[in-house]
Amino acid sequence: QVQLVQSGAEVKKPGASAKVSCKASGYTFSNFYIHWVRQAPGQGLEWIGIVDPTGNNRRYAQKFQGRVTMTSDTSTSIVYMELSSLNFDDTAVYFCARASVPGSLLGPFDSWGQGTLVTVSS
Amino acid sequence: QSVLTQPPSVSGAPGQRVTISCTGSSSNIGAAYDVHWYQQYPGVAPKLLIYADTNRPSGVPDRFSGSKSGTSASLAITGLQADDEADYYCQTYDSSLSGYVFGSGTTVIVL
């Protein structure tokens, strides 16, 4: 079955960077894009961006452009999301999720990772 | 502030029907982009509930249904059950933002 397993919780200081990983299994990794979504404590879902499994094509939400980098390693089936210049408002659970339509940016998010809590604290 | 507006909460007694609205604009729902719905329990990842406006993934009970008209979409839950108590989010693509957007989220309360 499709599984997305994310890295563990992180605590970062303001101004630092956080890099979260998402390991995919149970399907052909190269066929499906991966989204990143975050959820601040007690808040709703916020889309961060999407990356294709080859890492060649990515699209970021305007809010995060210049601060986020998404990469992919096809040899290990792992996608990474790095967010830099962290501030307190970046404290959130970060999720990876698979785009359901093969080879497409479109379609619903049909499988989700378990989430990674990134806490920004001085 | 979310691009897609949902009521903060809706409530109903067991067995009743509740609906959740999701109001967008001409750059998202009104532009005929598919609307998807997710269910989320506290502390866990969201789960896809409805995709492409009206379709249920395998395993989702037919008590859940989706619809769309103009710049709005709706999720209906019939035969409300205790374990329907969760947060629900709508989602679509927005051409002005060139990205995906989520609704503000609605908590369903089973009385």
**Which tens digits make up the pLDDT trace of B51-78?**
999 999 999 999 999 999 999 999 999 9
* pLDDT at res. A54: 85
Residue A102 CB contacts under 8 Å (≥ 6 apart), including other chains: A31, A32
A36 and B CB contact within 8 Å: no
Q: What is the pLDDT of residues B86-95, one digit of tens each?
A: 999 999 999 9
Segment (H or E) for B101: strand B99-102
Q: Are B50 and B60 in contact (CB under 8 A)?
A: yes
Question: CB of A20 within 8 A of CB of A81?
Answer: yes
pLDDT per residue of chain A (122 residues) written in tens, 0 to 9: 999 999 999 999 999 999 999 999 999 999 999 999 999 999 999 999 999 988 788 999 999 999 999 999 999 999 999 999 999 999 999 999 999 988 888 899 999 999 999 999 99
| Parallel/antiparallel/unpaired status of strands A92-99 and A116-120 | antiparallel
A109/B105 Cβ within 8 A: no
Between the CA atoms of A120, A70, B100 and B77, what dihedral angle is there, to the nearest 10 degrees?
Answer: -70
pLDDT reported for residue A30: 92
Query: Does residue A64 contact residue A70 with C-beta atoms inside 8 Å?
Result: no
Asked if residue A33 lies in contact with residue A105, where contact means CB atoms within 8 angstroms, the answer is yes
Q: What is the mean pLDDT of chain B?
A: 96
Chain A residues whose beta carbon lies within 8 Å of the beta carbon of residue B44: 114-115
- Rg, chain B, Cα only: 13
Residue carrying structure tokens 């990474």: A80
Q: Does A115 touch chain B (CB under 8 A)?
A: yes
**Closest-CA residue in chain A for B3?**
A46
Of A95, A108, A113, the CB nearest to B48: A108
Asked if the model's pLDDT at residue B1 lies above 80, the reply is no
Q: Looking at the complex, does the CB of residue B1 fall below 8 Å from at least one CB of chain A?
A: no
**CA dihedral angle for residue A42, residue A106, residue B100, residue A45, rounded to 10 degrees:** 0
Whether A100 contacts chain B with CB within 8 A: yes
Res A56: pLDDT: 82
Nearest CA-CA partner of A109 in B28, B92, B74: B92
Any CB–CB contact under 8 A between A27 and chain B? no
pLDDT (0 to 100) of residue B50: 98
- Contact residues, chain B, for A114 at CB < 8 Å: 44-45
pLDDT of residue B13: 97
Task: Give the three-class secondary structure for B24.
Answer: coil
